[in-house]
Chain A
């Protein structure tokens, strides 16, 4: 059997404890306009109003607000104590447009141990890389921005 420890970073890894990160939650997926690589590219602008938040992504505008998460998230980073940390080759996720999507479907599947450890070594452990306690939630469907057609050339 496998025992995978979840632990805090050691003092060499992090002098100042575990940072707080944030989540921005929105409907749908991000796509790349021209199908070009998305790495490093600009996503959108986030503005705050008196009562909420506005996100402009491409030709869509989303309205939302900052909330405390119901239950905290921890961001776990897989490590192993034998070799240097490395992660698998980058894979571009399949592109889907930022369309209106259906209501959020939560599907729950048991996770088998095989999904959580490195088959080639048994000293896998997870380090708490960050904690998420707040998120900016965009619950409403993205609205397309309609641009005015210029009246003349």
Chain B
């Protein structure tokens, strides 16, 4: 429907004056521009929706940033910007919202083309609405992500050639997860997923353990100090066995930068004790599920690399719980 189908105004100054006198209004009190409203030919406008947004979201849309509504057919719809997710709700009101493409505002209604008398501006009501869409900031729906990742865990590059199970790129994931790109990135990081050949994969747990062991053994055999581990050397030495990307991700999960470099300028790292202990605690508990506390503590301490002390508080870092019957 184009705006050109404005109904010809057929009301005269007479008509307007008659109405305002009927309403007991004094022309003296009124500004000289009067607006007569007419309904458009098609004022039900099924093709239009009103959505209440925030100034922030409006700016993002105006600047061409991605603002997308996402969901499966029967999902409650969400709206995602680059960084946030909002529930979309339909707010009903018993009021009528008349939508006007053009209106004369009070400060524009002061003067008219006549010295005396009224100027009549005809305005079209493009649509009448009784509800509109409202946005409520919400948590992204990322629970599904772990499930998707677990469909095809990475178990080693030897197995990849025959791997025909489903794999997801970042864009694929945005297609099935109701979250903003930034929230999806955060969720992937929390799951310790890696981007391998463009696909996001979670590592099979045993594989992750073997990568960890390769790194620890390398550190031991080179006698590097536990607070002076060169990332570059680790990558260069092990990349034939383990894809570099994975090596690097794993390395960063269990280390932290020291702030110093080798003479050649490569960054040095040290073990992140808490994360390593938590990881190894999980390694020990996984196969058995339950473990006598004393035995567990003993085994645990003897498993961690030299120089690291275990501590029950570290288990909170991982996904483990301590039950009193252990």
Q: Identify the A interface with B (CB < 8 A).
A: 1-8, 18-19, 21-30, 38-50, 53-54, 56, 61, 66, 71-78, 85, 87-88, 90-93, 101-102, 104-116, 126, 128-132, 134, 136, 145, 147
Check if A93 sits within 8 Å of B90, measured CB to CB. no
Take A6-B61, A40-B7 as given contacts and tell me if A76 and B48 are in contact as well, using a CB distance cutoff of 8 Å: yes
**B16 to chain A: closest CB distance in Å?**
6
Q: Is residue B149 within 8 Å, beta carbon to beta carbon, of the partner chain?
A: no
Q: Smallest CB-CB separation from A18: which chain B residue?
A: B62
Which stretch in B95-103, B230-238, B284-292 binds the other chain?
B95-103
Pairs of residues from A and B, 8 with the lowest C-beta to C-beta distance, nearest first: A87-B47, A110-B76, A113-B71, A43-B37, A22-B103, A4-B69, A24-B98, A46-B35
Check if A112 sits within 8 Å of B77, measured CB to CB. yes
Check if B23 sits within 8 Å of A145, measured CB to CB. yes
Q: Give 16 CB contacts A-B under 8 Å.
A: A4-B70, A6-B69, A23-B97, A23-B98, A23-B99, A29-B130, A38-B43, A39-B41, A42-B11, A42-B37, A66-B105, A71-B55, A73-B53, A76-B50, A101-B95, A113-B72
| A49-B34 Cα distance, complex, nearest whole Å | 11
Interface residues on B, range: 35 or more
Q: Which residues of chain B are near A71, meaning CB under 8 Å?
A: 52-55
Which stretch in B25-33, B154-162, B266-274 binds the other chain?
B25-33
Check if B34 sits within 8 Å of A47, measured CB to CB. yes
Check if B69 sits within 8 Å of A116, measured CB to CB. yes
Check if B61 sits within 8 Å of A7, measured CB to CB. yes
Q: Which residues of chain A are near B35, meaning CB under 8 Å?
A: 45-46
Q: Smallest CB-CB separation from B47: which chain A residue?
A: A87
Q: Smallest CB-CB separation from A53: which chain B residue?
A: B106
Check if A22 sits within 8 Å of B100, measured CB to CB. yes
Q: Which residues of chain A are near B69, meaning CB under 8 Å?
A: 2-6, 113, 116, 126
Check if A105 sits within 8 Å of B93, measured CB to CB. yes
**B72 to chain A: closest CB distance in Å?**
5
